[in-house]
Amino acid sequence: MNDAPSFRVEHDSMDHMRVTEKCIQGVTADVENCRKYPEASAELITALAPIIGYENAARLFQKSLREEKSIRQIICEDRFLSTEQLDELLNLPALTTGKR
């Protein structure tokens, strides 16, 4: 009988537990920082383009890049849409699950 495969599985499992214990346990997401990434992405402005128009979307996106601000910040500052409209249109869970 060959014990090598079972030894390898046990060894790999021990490595996995060590990695989990030393590197993963206690790690938490920085929620505010995580929100910054999608709110600064071109994909987000794409969701607004049908509502605000392609040219406006492109102009606002370029401004967000130039000023290093989120799309939400730029739209709020320009008063292009109300905060309530933005909250509804830029609902990230709804956008990522296709429920909008």
Report yes or no on 24 lying in a domain.
Answer: no
Q: Could you report the per-residue pLDDT of 33-42, keeping only the tens digit for each? A: 877 777 777 8
Could you give the CA distance from residue 34 to residue 28 in angstroms, rounded to a whole number?
11
The count of structural domains within the chain is 1
The average confidence (pLDDT) of the chain is 79
pTM: 0.60
Report yes or no on 88 lying in a domain.
Answer: yes
Report yes or no on 58 lying in a domain.
Answer: yes
CATH code at 67?
Answer: 1.10.40.30
Check: CB of residue 45 under 8 Å from CB of residue 71.
yes
Check: CB of residue 64 under 8 Å from CB of residue 73.
yes
Report yes or no on 7 lying in a domain.
Answer: no
Q: Look up the domain containing 44 and give its range.
A: 31-97
Report yes or no on 67 lying in a domain.
Answer: yes
Q: Which helix (H) or strand (E) holds 46?
A: helix 42-52
- pLDDT (0 to 100) of residue 7: 44
Report yes or no on 6 lying in a domain.
Answer: no
- pLDDT (0 to 100) of residue 47: 86
Report yes or no on 63 lying in a domain.
Answer: yes
Rg (CA), the chain: 22
